[in-house]
Chain A
Amino acid sequence: MKSDVTIGILVSFLGIMVLFFSQRIISGITKFDVLTPHFFPTIIAICLIVFGLGLSISNIINYYKKNQSISNIKKEKERVDYFQVLKVILLTIVYIFFIELFGFILTTIIVLGLLMYLFGERKLIDIVIVSIVTTSLFYYFFVRLFNIALPTKIFLYR
């Protein structure tokens, strides 16, 4: 797979970055090398570089081997809606950001409704009922029953 070759290179690059930053960790005065805090990250970095290169090289070898033996194998492409994923990711960011400003209740009611719409729910009445009831139940169960704190407001109530 072409993408695996790229991922292997990226993993190796991450390994190089880890190696670079691990050498910058303050060592302090130690008797043995193994006592230094960068001992273990250095091992991790080397593993990342080696495994990353291993992934790339093994895929390049496989690619050429397959090209020689079997050609023209068309893979079934899955229908994936990346735009939809991006919308859900953005809404998660918005939720995390606004929950701090407006508290749990208000933000959750709005975000839950929007998420339901994104996940294919088209009945407005269902969206409104589910988002309000679920948020209230969550608030009751977590705060009142389990004594678990939920993000509180800066601007508005809870």
Chain B
Amino acid sequence: MLKDIILGFHIFLSINNIIAIIIGMIIGIIVGALPGLGPSIALAIMIPMTFTMQPATAILLLCAVYVGGSYGGSISSILINTPGTAGAAATALDGYPLAKQGKAQKALLMALYASTTGHFIGTLSLLLLFPYLSMLALKFAPPEITLLVFLALTIIASLSGKSIIKGLIAATLGMLFSSIGLDPIIGVRRFTFGILGLDSGLELVPSVIGIFALSEIFIQAENILVGHAQPALPQSNNLNDQKLPIREFFEHRINIIRSSLVGIFIGILPGIGGSTAAFFAYAQAKKASKNPKTFGEGNIEGICAAEAANNAVVSSALVPLFSLGIPGSLAAALLLGALLIHGLIPGPQLFKEQGPQMYAIIIGLFACTISLYLIGLGAIKIGYLVTRIKASILFPIVLILCVVGAFATKNSMFDLKVMFFFGILGYLLRKYEFPLSPLVIAFILCNKFEVALRQTLIISEGSVNIFFKRPLCLTFIIIGVFFLIGIIMRISKQRSGPNLLAKIKKIKIY
């Protein structure tokens, strides 16, 4: 392990990697701060641009975009009350009231410090947990993989939207699109309807660009306001409101560590992502606070909790991705696609075969912490300018980027049609409040699931008893049962009354 870490450090210390992290971070923060765009869209568009890069450089660039994007959302949350990312919605609850009191600078600094700390703690969890989980994953045979992916898909489908059944439908649609093309075991064509372009299945990058980025442009087209401008924020004359002394930051250390741990826990769970972690940590901070009543009216503890958790998710979501091949968040799912494109196949073998490359990426994630802090300080100064980029320039350019990105995957015009189809589908699904992440994650994981399921049933000659005879499988089943109880409790809670999430309906979330 130590040898791999040293080799990883050697791989990381290349000027290309450092430039990739800086550029990725700048792009990530800008895209994150732009209302309507977020790390997922940025990653989908950026993946084709990394095709000609070295694997470690490409993944580091994308990781930096992901890290920067997760933080960047807080800038627009605080300054204009429109979270650039869903994960930053909790930040807006207290961030915007603070900005209205003239304390925007203080709120932005706290968001940056909490994000940096959260990201550092999250990356530490990745470094410590990834090798051990990989060793455990080496014991996985097809039955364990089947149950693990099934459990992951169920968790994603149940927790990512307002309605569980809509989440399940979205996941099933993802599985349907994944089954188009050649059958993974026998190689027979399925649902190709004689279209040659469908023989190799639907390409991931054009599909994801369509479903996230293109559909977002269609959504934005609904509410075009000519000459719309944000009201100017007041500036406080008190110098203390413009600064955040380190002493004041340390007063919130317990809150930040607790929120980071919440972020790590939720990040490791498959597919849930930053927004759930941020709201969960926010609720915990409110519970533990001496002034819970001021939450939502401009309490800096709220920003601390939300941002630390939101950014701790970034690296911890990579733990199941690297070790098991199961993404811990939507952006991690896109990174999974990028890893595959660059020949790094996530799963237990990744650690064994590509140890130095993976450690180079983890070291790069630590470097992202420093980069996030330094570039973040600069972003605070010019953040307001970024949030004021006109929609009339931004979204047309994003549409062109979508087309370029989708085409670049295979230089195929057919992929542009695939992107367009998914753009329309994504638009309709958003309109009818279907969550998109279960669809994308099921689309990516389904092939693995189908192969594992069919291999299991071939081994057992068609009997499902095999799942109950293996200790690890039984563990997954028990976790599944507990989770099912959790879902039932969630439904009954939803019916019993309003919760914290109801409050965010007041904020325009993209």
Contacts of B220 in A (CB 8 A): 119
Residues 107-139 (chain A) with a chain B CB within 8 angstroms: 108, 111-112, 115-116, 118-122, 126, 130, 134-135, 138
Partner of A119, one of B48, B175, B191, B224: B224
> When the two chains form their complex, are residues A112 and B224 in contact, meaning their CB atoms are under 8 A apart?
no
Contacts of A119 in B (CB 8 A): 220-221, 224, 391-393, 395-396
> When the two chains form their complex, are residues B172 and A47 in contact, meaning their CB atoms are under 8 A apart?
yes
> When the two chains form their complex, are residues A134 and B400 in contact, meaning their CB atoms are under 8 A apart?
yes
Interface window among B292-300, B340-348, B457-465, B467-475: B457-465
A95 interface residue per 8 A CB criterion: yes
Question: In the complex, A99 Cα to B407 Cα: how many Å?
Answer: 11
Question: In the complex, A128 Cα to B223 Cα: how many Å?
Answer: 24
Interface window among B161-169, B261-269, B270-278: B161-169
Residues 162-185 (chain B) with a chain A CB within 8 angstroms: 163, 165-166, 168-169, 172-173, 175-176, 179, 183, 185
Residues 32-73 (chain A) with a chain B CB within 8 angstroms: 32-41, 44, 47-48, 51-52, 54-55, 58
B14 interface residue per 8 A CB criterion: no
Partner of A81, one of B223, B399, B423, B462: B223
Bitwise, B211-239 to A at CB < 8 A (1) or not (0) is 00010011011111111000000000000
Assuming the A-B contacts A35-B185, A85-B218, A92-B214, are A148 and B408 also in contact, with contact meaning beta carbons closer than 8 angstroms in the complex?
A: yes
Question: In the complex, A37 Cα to B220 Cα: how many Å?
Answer: 41
Contacts of A151 in B (CB 8 A): 407, 413
> When the two chains form their complex, are residues B393 and A130 in contact, meaning their CB atoms are under 8 A apart?
yes
Assuming the A-B contacts A138-B404, A148-B51, are A35 and B186 also in contact, with contact meaning beta carbons closer than 8 angstroms in the complex?
A: yes
Partner of B416, one of A22, A25, A96: A96
Contacts of A150 in B (CB 8 A): 404, 407-408
> When the two chains form their complex, are residues B218 and A112 in contact, meaning their CB atoms are under 8 A apart?
no
> When the two chains form their complex, are residues B450 and A40 in contact, meaning their CB atoms are under 8 A apart?
yes
Bitwise, B378-412 to A at CB < 8 A (1) or not (0) is 00000000000011110111011101100110010
A33, A34, A48: most-surrounded residue (chain B CB, <10 A): A34
Question: In the complex, A103 Cα to B11 Cα: how many Å?
Answer: 40
Question: In the complex, A58 Cα to B491 Cα: how many Å?
Answer: 13
Question: In the complex, A108 Cα to B407 Cα: how many Å?
Answer: 14
Assuming the A-B contacts A18-B176, A47-B172, A120-B225, are A89 and B424 also in contact, with contact meaning beta carbons closer than 8 angstroms in the complex?
A: yes
Chain A: minimal CB distance from B88 (Å): 22
B130 interface residue per 8 A CB criterion: no
Residues 444-494 (chain B) with a chain A CB within 8 angstroms: 450, 453-454, 457-458, 461-462
> When the two chains form their complex, are residues B393 and A121 in contact, meaning their CB atoms are under 8 A apart?
yes
> When the two chains form their complex, are residues B424 and A37 in contact, meaning their CB atoms are under 8 A apart?
no
Question: In the complex, A115 Cα to B393 Cα: how many Å?
Answer: 9
B420 interface residue per 8 A CB criterion: yes
Contacts of B223 in A (CB 8 A): 79-81
Contacts of A52 in B (CB 8 A): 169
A140 interface residue per 8 A CB criterion: no
Contacts of A146 in B (CB 8 A): 49, 51-52
Question: In the complex, A141 Cα to B494 Cα: how many Å?
Answer: 49
> When the two chains form their complex, are residues B48 and A92 in contact, meaning their CB atoms are under 8 A apart?
no
Assuming the A-B contacts A18-B176, A120-B225, are A51 and B52 also in contact, with contact meaning beta carbons closer than 8 angstroms in the complex?
A: no
> When the two chains form their complex, are residues A120 and B226 in contact, meaning their CB atoms are under 8 A apart?
yes
Question: In the complex, A4 Cα to B393 Cα: how many Å?
Answer: 35
B10 interface residue per 8 A CB criterion: no
Partner of B404, one of A21, A30, A142: A142
Contacts of B189 in A (CB 8 A): 25-26
Chain A: minimal CB distance from B186 (Å): 5
> When the two chains form their complex, are residues A11 and B179 in contact, meaning their CB atoms are under 8 A apart?
no
> When the two chains form their complex, are residues B186 and A30 in contact, meaning their CB atoms are under 8 A apart?
yes
> When the two chains form their complex, are residues B190 and A92 in contact, meaning their CB atoms are under 8 A apart?
no
Residue on A nearest B187 in the bound complex, by CB: A37
Question: In the complex, A11 Cα to B179 Cα: how many Å?
Answer: 17
> When the two chains form their complex, are residues A34 and B458 in contact, meaning their CB atoms are under 8 A apart?
yes
Contacts of B250 in A (CB 8 A): none
Residue on B nearest A85 in the bound complex, by CB: B221
B502 interface residue per 8 A CB criterion: no
Assuming the A-B contacts A85-B218, A150-B404, are A37 and B190 also in contact, with contact meaning beta carbons closer than 8 angstroms in the complex?
A: yes
> When the two chains form their complex, are residues B169 and A40 in contact, meaning their CB atoms are under 8 A apart?
no
Partner of B432, one of A7, A18, A80, A108: A7
Residue on A nearest B394 in the bound complex, by CB: A119
Residues 8-27 (chain A) with a chain B CB within 8 angstroms: 11, 18, 21-22, 25-27
Question: In the complex, A80 Cα to B189 Cα: how many Å?
Answer: 41
Residue on A nearest B180 in the bound complex, by CB: A41
> When the two chains form their complex, are residues A41 and B191 in contact, meaning their CB atoms are under 8 A apart?
yes
Partner of A112, one of B173, B186, B400, B423: B400
Contacts of B401 in A (CB 8 A): 138
> When the two chains form their complex, are residues A48 and B165 in contact, meaning their CB atoms are under 8 A apart?
no
Partner of A44, one of B48, B176, B404, B413: B176
> When the two chains form their complex, are residues B458 and A32 in contact, meaning their CB atoms are under 8 A apart?
yes
A93 interface residue per 8 A CB criterion: yes
Contacts of B458 in A (CB 8 A): 32, 34-35
Residues 134-173 (chain B) with a chain A CB within 8 angstroms: 163, 165-166, 168-169, 172-173
Chain A: minimal CB distance from B156 (Å): 15
> When the two chains form their complex, are residues A149 and B408 in contact, meaning their CB atoms are under 8 A apart?
yes
Contacts of A58 in B (CB 8 A): 165
Question: Can you report 12 residue pairs joining A to B where beta carbons are below 8 Å apart?
Answer: A37-B183, A37-B185, A41-B179, A47-B172, A81-B223, A116-B392, A119-B393, A121-B392, A126-B393, A147-B52, A149-B411, A150-B408
Closest 6 CB pairs of A and B: A115-B396, A121-B392, A37-B183, A34-B457, A119-B392, A120-B226
Other than A120-B392, A148-B408, give 8 A-B pairs with Cβ distance below 8 A.
Answer: A34-B457, A37-B186, A51-B168, A92-B423, A115-B399, A118-B224, A142-B49, A151-B413
